[in-house]
């Protein structure tokens, strides 16, 4: 039986990755300090464990959402420490393969100002384009990718994926999709959207994030790969889709004091789509999320 370690296994990506690997017959161990049943600090694992896994999925990160990215910059130091400790441990213990969850935040912000509909290609992080990723989190992930490359040069098999705006039915309300579903379910009026609502994102369902990332591993691709759809949908449009699905017709209020993020972030999907074709459309994802919120509401009212 193949074995895997998933760091950040209690987080959004980590728990879906854990479930998918187990569904494929893998023996999976998770570590996450946020696990209420068995909190395990991943840093302790990297200090003490010597077991060798067929695959290490490194999804652990502290508060990788917009409010924390702009409002809690000190998380950068912890995330840098976490990545460095993981790669040091992987090399020291001879781990067979590592899947590093990077981020679309690594891309230079000058390509994301909305002046043109630029599809971000994996090569756009090259120094020839100028390096100015999205805030401290972007710097953290870009540094993580450089560390991954250094570890690969020493013989570690490393795969790097750059998910764009992942979403799903069980996403928390620290992220826009989860927040919009929760606001629509609560019938909030006004319905608040951060910024001017025109910020465009490349939304990809968590099922496709996980399956797509594992397709990169299965194909043994060693260069960074966007995990994206290539389709851009604005925050305003997404809010409208969710409200329509719930039958809610609120007044949309734009909170321009809240951090909006970059204006336009859509990935070039060509490299990814050669390996994997996303299965869940945004429309289907919205329907699934609204259905789940209704079911949970019905259970809570019993």
Whether 254 maps to a domain, the answer reads no
Q: Are 211 and 218 in contact (CB under 8 A)?
A: no
Whether 56 maps to a domain, the answer reads yes
Whether 109 maps to a domain, the answer reads yes
Task: Please report which confidence band the pLDDT of residue 296 belongs to, taking 50, 70 and 90 as the band edges.
Answer: confident
Section 145-172 average pLDDT: 97
Whether 33 maps to a domain, the answer reads yes
Q: Are 190 and 249 in contact (CB under 8 A)?
A: no
Task: Please report which confidence band the pLDDT of residue 67 belongs to, taking 50, 70 and 90 as the band edges.
Answer: very low
Whether 259 maps to a domain, the answer reads no
Please say if the pLDDT value at position 248 is more than 50: yes
Q: What is the per-residue pLDDT for 143?
A: 94
Section 162-185 average pLDDT: 95
Distance, CA of 115 to CA of 93 (rounded, Å): 47
Please say if the pLDDT value at position 92 is more than 50: yes
Whether 247 maps to a domain, the answer reads no
Domain hosting 99: range is 3-169+203-230+265-280
Section 51-78 average pLDDT: 75
Q: CB 251: neighbour CB atoms within 10 A?
A: 8
Q: Are strands 55-58 and 252-255 parallel, antiparallel or unpaired?
A: unpaired
Whether 12 maps to a domain, the answer reads yes
> Concatenated DSSP letters for 63-123?
--SHHHHHH-TTHHHHHHHHHHHHHHHHHHHT-S-EEEE--GGGS-GGGGSSSS-PEEPGG
CATH of the domain at 84: 3.40.50.720
Number of domains in the chain: 1
Whether 39 maps to a domain, the answer reads yes
Section 205-210 average pLDDT: 98
Please say if the pLDDT value at position 22 is more than 60: yes
């Amino acid at each position: 039986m193949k074995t895997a370690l998933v760091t950040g296994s209690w987080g959004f990506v980590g728990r879906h990755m854990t479930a998918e690997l187990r569904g494929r017959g893998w023996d999976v161990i998770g570590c996450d300090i946020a696990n209420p049943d068995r909190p395990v600090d991943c840093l302790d694992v990297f200090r003490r464990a010597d077991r060798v896994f067929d695959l290490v999925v490194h999804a652990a990160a502290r508060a990788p959402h917009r409010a924390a990215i702009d409002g809690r910059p000190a998380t950068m130091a912890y995330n840098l420490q976490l990545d460095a400790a993981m790669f040091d441990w992987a090399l020291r213990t001879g781990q067979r393969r590592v899947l590093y969850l990077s981020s679309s935040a690594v891309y230079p912000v000058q390509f994301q100002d909305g002046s043109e509909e630029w599809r971000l290609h994996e090569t756009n992080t090259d120094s020839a384009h100028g390096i100015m990723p999205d805030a401290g989190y972007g710097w953290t992930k870009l540094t993580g990718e450089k560390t991954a490359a250094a570890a690969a040069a020493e013989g570690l098999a490393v795969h790097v994926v750059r998910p764009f705006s992942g979403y799903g039915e069980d996403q928390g309300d620290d992220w826009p999709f989860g927040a919009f579903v929760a606001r629509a379910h609560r019938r909030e009026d006004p319905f608040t959207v951060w910024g001017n609502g025109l910020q465009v994102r490349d939304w990809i369902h968590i099922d496709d994030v996980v399956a797509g990332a594992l397709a990169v591993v299965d194909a043994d691709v060693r260069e960074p790969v966007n995990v994206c759809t290539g389709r851009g949908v604005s925050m305003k449009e997404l809010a409208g889709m969710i409200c329509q699905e719930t039958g809610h017709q609120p007044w949309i209020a734009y909170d321009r004091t809240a951090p909006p993020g970059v204006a336009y972030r859509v990935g070039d999907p060509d490299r990814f789509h050669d390996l994997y074709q996303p299965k869940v459309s945004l429309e289907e994802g919205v329907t699934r999320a609204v259905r789940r919120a209704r079911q949970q509401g019905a259970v809570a009212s019993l």
